[in-house]
Structure 1
């Protein structure tokens, strides 16, 4: 595992420029606010969060991290965007969320510092934005305790996903800023599952996330062809 910074400067700049909009539920990050209750319920259903230690990798402005803390976990969010982390910290102060903290550190560096340090690790909507996603998966596996859970979400790479998640979401419906996603960086479920197996994580569940633009409703299902989530667990012994 390479402890050097696994980040694309252009990606960091892109999200830093939007940092002040993280907690605007009707702004550029509206989709994250809309799907957050779904993914939180899914995580909490598989691994009840109350009393757990949780790490949110690539936390951005802290939308999921804050929810992990509100569900009873002692939550830490890490990211490499200074501006996004400042927004997350300000929100935590304003909301008086005491069981959450944020750090500017990479997943790989955190793994060297706190191996097997967390009951739950989440890495949502982040892998498609880094040069080496397998390295992040390995870091997440190192960070979680034996028997603990690691949750991932990302975008599939296929023509349907390109049409819906890039052309549709970014250029037709304007749900996301143009250039948010690059097709070549999207990750097929089989590829992500391979990264997980190489990191000694057992894939226990795969779920899809669908959206109806007419009703503006998201829901989880078995269709992993566009947006999908993987639940993985670290064996109690190797």
Structure 2
């Protein structure tokens, strides 16, 4: 599975391709991440975590999937990239590490959890005052249904069928309202 996760032309090709866009977005808003403490929530196999660490950030990647944390640890060790990977939820981490991170990234993860507000609340607790939180998720609209589910899962077979559930997609207005509810100030969307 580790080989699949890090095969840039395999099943995770799309994640590798959008990783470039993720980094560009983060760097446009922050300009410099060197020595910043960054938390990657839902880090998966570590694609974004490793990219951030390679730019000089002090990265912690968390995920509930133990097998993905093992893949991430294995890959970062082989490539001599220092990332602290942990098998822990954002909610659990927020109980012990309040105001600990300069930057939090939560990319393409909220649409996979039943209670995204719980993650957003945890981000608000984990980020330092004056820090930044980045969310990226799939909009709940017809276009996303067609492209992300019908196209990507059924027609092009880029993702396993059932990867996404339309009812868990999040409208931008919902994300904005939840972020504001937990005192996160909006910079851009």
Q: Deviations over 1:176-216 (max 9, x none)?
A: 2211101011000000111100110011111xxxxxxxxxx
- Indicate yes or no: 2:85 matched with 1:89: no
TM superposition shift of 1:159? 1.2
TM superposition shift of 1:158? 1.1
**Where in structure 2 are the equivalents of 1:1-238 lying within 5 Å?**
21-47=4-30, 48-98=32-82, 100-206=83-189
Residue pair 1:28, 1:177 contacting (<8 A) in 2 also = no
TM superposition shift of 1:19? 5.9
State TM-score, norm by structure 2: 0.96
**Counting strand residues as a fraction of each chain, which structure ranks higher?**
1
Q: Deviations over 1:196-237 (max 9, x none)?
A: 00110011111xxxxxxxxxxxxxxxxxxxxxxxxxxxxxxx
Residue pair 1:59, 1:79 contacting (<8 A) in 2 also = yes
TM superposition shift of 1:175? 1.7
**Counting helix residues as a fraction of each chain, which structure ranks higher?**
2
Q: Secondary structure at the match of 2:186?
A: strand
Q: 1 CA distance for matches of 2:75 and 2:154?
A: 30
Unaligned runs of 5+ in 2: none
4+ long deviations beyond 3 Å:
none
State TM-score, norm by structure 1: 0.77
TM superposition shift of 1:21? 2.2
Unaligned runs of 5+ in 1: 1-17, 207-238
Q: Deviations over 1:95-133 (max 9, x none)?
A: 0013x1100100001111100000000000110111100
TM superposition shift of 1:73? 0.3
